[in-house]
Structure 1
Amino acid sequence: MQEVDFLNKPEHSLDSQAGDVLFFSTVQKKVAISSPVKVLILDLVKRGPTPLEIIVERSGKAKSTITKHVQDLEEAGLIVTHTNPDDNRRRILTLSAEEIGRLTAPESCVRPGIYYIPKLHSSFNGEEIAQFFRFLLVSFRVKAMAIGININPVLKQAGIQIGEVLAPAVEDENIEGVVKKIAQFWKIHHLGTVALRSTSPLSIEVRDCFECKDLPVTGHEACPFDNGVITAIFSHHLKSPVTVVEEECYSKGNDRCLFVITPSSEDS
């Protein structure tokens, strides 16, 4: 069994009741993080290369405090730091481990029960099979949310793997063509309705989203699988890593999901 490290040293200046617990996997071990400051650092860095100054600003902590937390995370193998190519005095942090899970407070808006019941029959056609698996996914996620288990990191990694397989099939000479092929795939498999909303910034809209439309409204984005698929497809198309942010989501109370795609280098 692989070792589990807990980087949970007491911090008297922090609220001991606050903060989620993040789980990461490195080549050598599994690591659990419950320190609120370390959780904040990792939440920022996992979105893309992040200047140390941004972390100091967002945390409200002294630079010396953040530097010590960064050193701990480096020693644990969770992040690496690089010199900013534009300024040798500044450092940029990147994630070097895979997030595999998160424990959080149970969603107060989630109650036991079934939120989505498809019309099922003894003999399934294609649409009803899609409804059935949609029901399974929603039921599983609602139960996890109710007990405070966040499986978004696993869903995103699964989405990236599927997106890497799907990317060559939806490749086209321009972005409009790629989105059109994605929309066709989504329609055929009853995953929702996809449309290109902007090319600057690149923005994709999904309506009737299979991943989140039937979830309760939590105030948070809830489409890590779609995020992973889109990340892989456009990293392949643009031949460079991209960052995908879900700015709107049914689970946030919106009437659609909206994904904004930018080159990862812009985060630095």
Structure 2
Amino acid sequence: MNDNNPVYGSENIQIELFATPKGVKAIKNPVRVKILSMLREGDLSFDEIVKFSGRAKSTVSSHLKSMTREEIINSRIDPNDARKKIFFIQSEYIGKLQRQQLQEDISAYIKRYIASENDPFEFFRLIFHTIRISLLTQGVDIDPILHEAGLKVGEALYEKVKDPDMDKFLGNIANFWETHSLGSVEIKNFQPLTISVQDCFECSGLPYLGRPACAFDSGILESLFSKYNKEKIRVRETKCYALGDNSCRFVIE
């Protein structure tokens, strides 16, 4: 599991992980990371990759050929010009590795939960959060995996909470969250639809991370509202316990 190009920078280097038929590939070359970041936003032609990456054609061509051989990306003929190719990612994005310093020692976090009430649910929350923080301290970001899992859970959950009436649909979602101790849901706004979650299972109690941490919940909500609206819906988390807020907030766009 490696990228044969030299390592640039120090501990703060970003490494992108992709699952291919040949195994997991760790991409640490900054040029490749930039190209893959662009392709994750959408398919691009060779000329577009050169333009947006700011690299020479020969450099881009070399990296594209290597990543094609490794089955990370692939290409198809441009329907508007048979002499050109459109490049796209054909592997599965797993996540990224990036060293970061958390602002709270994990041992103190664990001790705080152990000292809390003897609640089995809190013990499972402890396990979930401890695994997640342990991975983060090693530089492993599992948000893409959690988001993908949330999408699948949302698809299965939709049949249980669906209702043609939007108010009832929202009420069913809130009831499910409450019943399963995922948090307390409150509708803050309808234009755009904004959902607030108090005591969020996924992130309340996490140390300050400096970014939203509810990738799993975001995935569930994205799937639920996409199925309800019969079109792709984006969910953006604007507040989070991991940002120092006193609740999580999701905007349905």
TM category, shorter:
0.7 to 0.9
In 2, are the aligned partners of 1:44 and 1:55 still within 8 Å (CA)?
no
Match of 1:125?
Answer: none
Aligned counterparts of 2:193 and 2:75: Cα–Cα separation in 1: 29
Q: Alpha-carbon deviations, 1:133-162, whole Å to 9, x = none?
A: 112112222222223222223222222222
Match of 2:124?
Answer: 133
Aligned counterparts of 1:239 and 1:200: Cα–Cα separation in 2: 19
- Structure with larger Rg: 2
Matching of residues 29-48 of structure 1 within 5 Å: 29-43=23-37, 45-46=39-40, 48=41
Match of 2:143?
Answer: 152
Match of 2:250?
Answer: 259
Q: 1:113 to 1:196 in 2, by over 3 A?
A: same
Q: 1:173 to 1:67 in 2, by over 3 A?
A: farther
Q: 1:174 to 1:117 in 2, by over 3 A?
A: same
Are positions 1:113 and 2:113 aligned together? no
Root-mean-square deviation over aligned CA pairs: 3.5
Aligned counterparts of 2:252 and 2:35: Cα–Cα separation in 1: 22
* Number of equivalenced pairs: 246
Match 2:93 to one of 94, 99, 107: 99
Are positions 1:49 and 2:42 aligned together? yes
Q: 1:45 to 1:172 in 2, by over 3 A?
A: farther
Q: 1:94 to 1:242 in 2, by over 3 A?
A: farther
In 1, are the aligned partners of 2:16 and 2:33 still within 8 Å (CA)?
yes
Match of 1:246?
Answer: 237
In 2, are the aligned partners of 1:49 and 1:92 still within 8 Å (CA)?
no
**Post-superposition shift, 1:211?**
0.9
Are positions 1:207 and 2:207 aligned together? no
Match 1:185 to one of 168, 171, 176: 176
Residue identity matched to 2:207: P
Match 2:134 to one of 143, 152, 155: 143
Are positions 1:21 and 2:21 aligned together? no
TM-score (norm 1): 0.73
Q: 1:40 to 1:260 in 2, by over 3 A?
A: farther
Structure 2 residue matching 1:117: 3-state secondary structure:
helix
TM-score (norm 2): 0.76
In 2, are the aligned partners of 1:56 and 1:66 still within 8 Å (CA)?
no
Match 1:222 to one of 213, 226, 230: 213
Q: 1:7 to 1:146 in 2, by over 3 A?
A: closer
Match of 1:166?
Answer: 157
In 2, are the aligned partners of 1:159 and 1:229 still within 8 Å (CA)?
yes
Match of 1:9?
Answer: 5
Aligned counterparts of 1:26 and 1:241: Cα–Cα separation in 2: 26
In 2, are the aligned partners of 1:110 and 1:146 still within 8 Å (CA)?
no
Aligned counterparts of 2:138 and 2:153: Cα–Cα separation in 1: 28
Q: Which runs of 5+ in 1 are unaligned?
A: 122-127, 263-268
Structure 1 residue matching 2:234: 3-state secondary structure:
strand
